[in-house]
Chains A and B, each alone.
Chain A
Amino acid sequence: MTFTDNELTDKKFQKELNSGTAALVLLAVLERAQEPMYGYQIAKHLDTGSEEVPVKQGALYPVLRALEVGGLLESQVEPSVTGPPRRYYQITSTGRDTLRQWIEIWNRTKTFVESSLKGNRHE
């Protein structure tokens, strides 16, 4: 596959944005989940039906693992009826605290970016 320069820059920009938002989104999904979820369930939950999603499903798994290493999620492997054992993730109490702070940061960032895009000046 080849990309034009523009497409490459767009992809790079999207990737840079995703590096934080993917973690935020995953924490939020698992915070609201009633029970532990496995990777595909989470991906399916986030699937909007369109092929043009900002975060590819394949990019969610490394973030899940990184969040676990950071102690924000915990996981356990459980056997499944149909195939190989599955890794189920759930949020930890540190994860909940972190999510609360991240939502605040996200809201601040969102307001800041949106007002900048609209051309408002803070003077």
Chain B
Amino acid sequence: MNKSIAEYLLELRHELVGCDPATVLDALSDTEDHLNTALAGAMADNPRLSEADALDGVIVRYGTPAEVAAAYRDTENRTRPALAAPESYYERSAGSRFFGIVYDPRAWGALLYMVISMVTGIVYFTWVTTGLYLSIGLLVLIIGLPVAYLFLMSFRGIALVEGRIIEGLLGVRMPRRSLFSQRDLRWWQQLKVLVRGRRTWATVAYMVIQMPLGILYFTITMVLLVLSVGLVASPIQRYVFDMPIIRTEHYVIFMPDNLMPVAVCAGVALFVLLMHLARGLGRLHAKLARAMLVGK
């Protein structure tokens, strides 16, 4: 056999073609971690063994790429994907499909995400622009390199945090990948890997566009939310506080009594519509985040 860990991983990736990308990343990181640890263990147990022979022994116990891929494929087929939505809630009549969304935890999570994404978006944008300009500005001095390194590492950290938020609120798997495929790199070598890495710059782009997107999500959500709550609360406005809906210097207009039920129903419907919108936007956003933050 006599192949290296990198070759083994390449073969495994090849065997996993067609699987969910999250499964592929899981399998590769599990395998890489295991082979490295097991190889180090085997070499320590028997120092006279050559690395290639030790790795052969490790792989015999771990299984061939085809066997390992089959195991992941098998498990993927048998288990539901993480946080799969309870679809059965709204697979009935059109009415219950429309209103059933209030039982969908993902829609509530997406609604929350729409609201907080403005805050996170502004934080990411500020951090990424500060980091980039500071690093570029300081590059004329030698101090610019460690500053750039620290900022690029922090972007990776933020990508992980954003991934956790998206997993929790939007219910889409955002697998983690170990940072560097090679170990024992000095920081400047890591910096080189970071600067050359396509994913570093995809993360930077994500952090930049997250601000306008966050503001958009927040605005849409807030406008619809306030409108629907206002409509639902119109009887309170009329009968408890005796407030008109329009007041000018010359006249006031109260909502007619017979329109009251219509307003309340419209408010409820608008809120449910907002939840559908939030879930839809959440799905789209999760796709975007997955493409930019966890791509290969």
Residues of A near any B CB (own CB < 8 A): 1, 15, 19, 39-40, 43-44, 47, 51, 53, 56-59, 61-63, 65-66, 69-70, 77, 82-86
Bound together, the chains give a CA A19 to CA B77 distance in angstroms of: 12
Cross-chain contact B178 with A40 (CB below 8 angstroms): no
Cross-chain contact A63 with B75 (CB below 8 angstroms): yes
Bound together, the chains give a CA A69 to CA B62 distance in angstroms of: 23
Q: Is B134 an interface residue (CB 8 A)?
A: no
Residues from chain B with a CB closer than 8 A to the CB of A59 are: 63, 67-68, 71
Contacts A/B (CB < 8 Å), 18 sampled: A40-B33, A40-B37, A40-B41, A44-B41, A56-B62, A58-B62, A58-B63, A58-B68, A61-B34, A62-B72, A62-B75, A66-B75, A66-B78, A69-B82, A70-B79, A82-B40, A83-B33, A84-B178
Q: Is B154 an interface residue (CB 8 A)?
A: no
Residue in B36, B72, B183 with the greatest tally of chain A CB atoms within 10 Å: B72
Bound together, the chains give a CA A57 to CA B78 distance in angstroms of: 19
A43 to chain B, nearest CB (A): 7
Residues of B near any A CB (own CB < 8 A): 26-27, 29-31, 33-34, 36-38, 40-41, 60-64, 67-68, 70-72, 74-76, 78-80, 82, 176, 178-179, 183
A96 to chain B, nearest CB (A): 20
Cross-chain contact B40 with A58 (CB below 8 angstroms): no
Residues from chain B with a CB closer than 8 A to the CB of A69 are: 79-80, 82
Residues from chain A with a CB closer than 8 A to the CB of B76 are: 62
A116 to chain B, nearest CB (A): 26
Dominant SS at the A interface?
helix
Contacts A39-B30, A59-B68 given: A83-B63 contact, CB under 8 Å? no
List the count of A-B residue pairs having beta carbons below 8 Å apart.
Answer: 84
Contacts A43-B34, A57-B63 given: A83-B183 contact, CB under 8 Å? yes
Bound together, the chains give a CA A15 to CA B63 distance in angstroms of: 13
Residues from chain B with a CB closer than 8 A to the CB of A85 are: 178
One of A40, A62, A66 near B38 (C-beta < 8 A) = A40
Cross-chain contact B63 with A62 (CB below 8 angstroms): no
Cross-chain contact A84 with B179 (CB below 8 angstroms): yes
Cross-chain contact B82 with A56 (CB below 8 angstroms): no
**Chain B residue nearest in CB terms to A85:** B178
Contacts A40-B37, A84-B33, A86-B33 given: A65-B63 contact, CB under 8 Å? no
Bound together, the chains give a CA A84 to CA B63 distance in angstroms of: 22
One of B26, B37, B60 near A51 (C-beta < 8 A) = B60
Residues from chain A with a CB closer than 8 A to the CB of B38 are: 40, 43-44, 57
Cross-chain contact B61 with A61 (CB below 8 angstroms): no
Bound together, the chains give a CA A58 to CA B16 distance in angstroms of: 14
Bound together, the chains give a CA A19 to CA B71 distance in angstroms of: 9
Cross-chain contact B67 with A56 (CB below 8 angstroms): yes
Bound together, the chains give a CA A65 to CA B20 distance in angstroms of: 14
Residues from chain B with a CB closer than 8 A to the CB of A66 are: 75, 78-79
Residues from chain A with a CB closer than 8 A to the CB of B179 are: 84
Residues from chain A with a CB closer than 8 A to the CB of B62 are: 56-58
Cross-chain contact A62 with B71 (CB below 8 angstroms): yes
Residues from chain A with a CB closer than 8 A to the CB of B183 are: 83-84
Residues from chain A with a CB closer than 8 A to the CB of B31 are: 58, 61
Bound together, the chains give a CA A47 to CA B58 distance in angstroms of: 11
Residues from chain A with a CB closer than 8 A to the CB of B29 are: 84
Cross-chain contact B64 with A1 (CB below 8 angstroms): yes
One of A1, A65, A84 near B26 (C-beta < 8 A) = A65
Bound together, the chains give a CA A76 to CA B61 distance in angstroms of: 25
Residues from chain B with a CB closer than 8 A to the CB of A84 are: 29, 33, 178-179, 183
Cross-chain contact A19 with B74 (CB below 8 angstroms): yes
Cross-chain contact A57 with B34 (CB below 8 angstroms): yes
B22 to chain A, nearest CB (A): 10
A25 to chain B, nearest CB (A): 14
